[in-house]
Amino acid sequence: MKKDLWLFLLIVVVGLVVAILNPRFLSPINLGNTANLVGLFGLFSIGAGIVIITGGIDLSVGSMFALLGVIFIDLLVNWQLDWWLAVLIVVAGGIGLGAIHGLLITRLRLQPFIVTLCGLLIYRGVARYYTNDGTAGFEFGQSFPTLEWLTASRTLGVPHSFIVFIAVAVIMGVLLHRSVFGRYLFAVGKNEEAARYSGIRVRRIVAAAYIISGGLAGLSSIYLAMYTRSISPASHGNFYELYGIAAAVLGGCSLRGGEGSILGIVLGVILLQILQNLVNLLGIPSSLNFAVMGGVILIGVVADQQLTRLRNRRVRS
């Protein structure tokens, strides 16, 4: 809880600094756009955080957005399926890919880094082949009123993507912090062998984490597709997995596993987007976005290591 409090205070301080440097930061338009981006990036960041809590990692998320995104547009434009059926198929596809990751990691004992790295390459390649390396997009004048209202509209100025993100965060917060499944996730991340000897079905817990991550990636791919309206499979979602990892690390998820909170991930996503907003408002070249993100990840990991060392020293003394 102390981590979350310090992170919240950091967000307030950074927000005040940005507002002083550029008053447009507090304009309703900018706040609305920032909230929309928080929702878009927050959905899959929660899934990334849950995987990290188990001691794993998912590098395939960005490529999943490209593959599931072009499939989603194809189902709507060329197959002319009802939007709700296309949504169900794409979310189910994300769950299926997550299940494959979980199966390879738990049954074949492959490293999560290798499995998801291969997924990153495979899904991107399949997406490019699926569209013949072309851009997938909606036809001119094509509209899906209900789907667009659910994904791209706003209520009282609040983007629906942000509302869905908060709803998912609440649900996953209850699951992670108020259920047996959540306790098992932390136990597996802390010490997998000890968890196994305690009677926890470690394979099922780890697989479930990747399935949740895949499902949230599938849902995110729909929101991102409706946000961009067109998808270039060669670049769509590039490095987005790093946003999820950075948000989780900033939010207190240890890359060693066994630590983290949904509230921390939410705050991590907000801080990342404020930093991105700072880059844009201050006229800093957008090419430095990745440098900012890399620096944030490095600071988060260093801070996590230092805090762990301090705790260990206190325990020994």
Q: What is the pLDDT of residue 144?
A: 92
3-state secondary structure 24-66: HHHCHHHHHHHHHHHHHHHHHHHHHHHHHHCCCCCCCHHHHHH
Rounded average pLDDT over 145-161:
95
Rounded average pLDDT over 276-298:
77
Binned at pLDDT 50, 70 and 90, residue 1 comes out as low
Interatomic CA distance for residues 47 and 213, integer angstroms: 4
Nearest to 293 by CA among 257, 246, 232, 223: 246
Residue 285 in this model has a pLDDT that exceeds 80: no
Determine contact, residues 254/49, Cβ cutoff 8 Å: no
Interatomic CA distance for residues 201 and 20, integer angstroms: 52
Kindly report, residue by residue over 124-143, the tens digit of the pLDDT: 999 999 999 999 999 887 88
Mean pLDDT of the chain: 92
Range of lowest pLDDT (40-49, 115-124, 199-208, 303-312): 303-312
User: What's the Cα-to-Cα distance from 257 to each of 77, 239, 276, rounded to whole Å?
Assistant: 42, 22, 27
Q: Which residues contact 4 (CB under 8 A, 6 or more apart)?
A: 251, 252, 261, 263, 264, 267
Q: What is the pLDDT of residue 152?
A: 93
